Amino acid sequence: MRQIDENLRRVYEQSQSDEVPDRFKELLDRLKAQDQKAGPTE
């Protein structure tokens, strides 16, 4: 059980240091631009 715990922690820590791929950054930028064009939603 301890080995599983250590492996899960290592994988989690590695994923935290990974950068967001460019295509996801571009998608987020496009979504933000659409939100700004739409204006506030209430």
Phi, psi of 34 (to 5 degrees): -65, -40
pLDDT tens digits for range 1-42: 889 999 999 988 888 888 888 999 999 999 999 988 887 765
Task: Tell me how many domains the chain contains.
Answer: 1
Range of the domain at 22: 2-38
**41 Ramachandran zone, left/alpha/beta (phi>0; psi -120 to 50):** beta
Residue 38: what pLDDT?
84
**Residue in the structure block whose two tokens are 């950068």:** 19
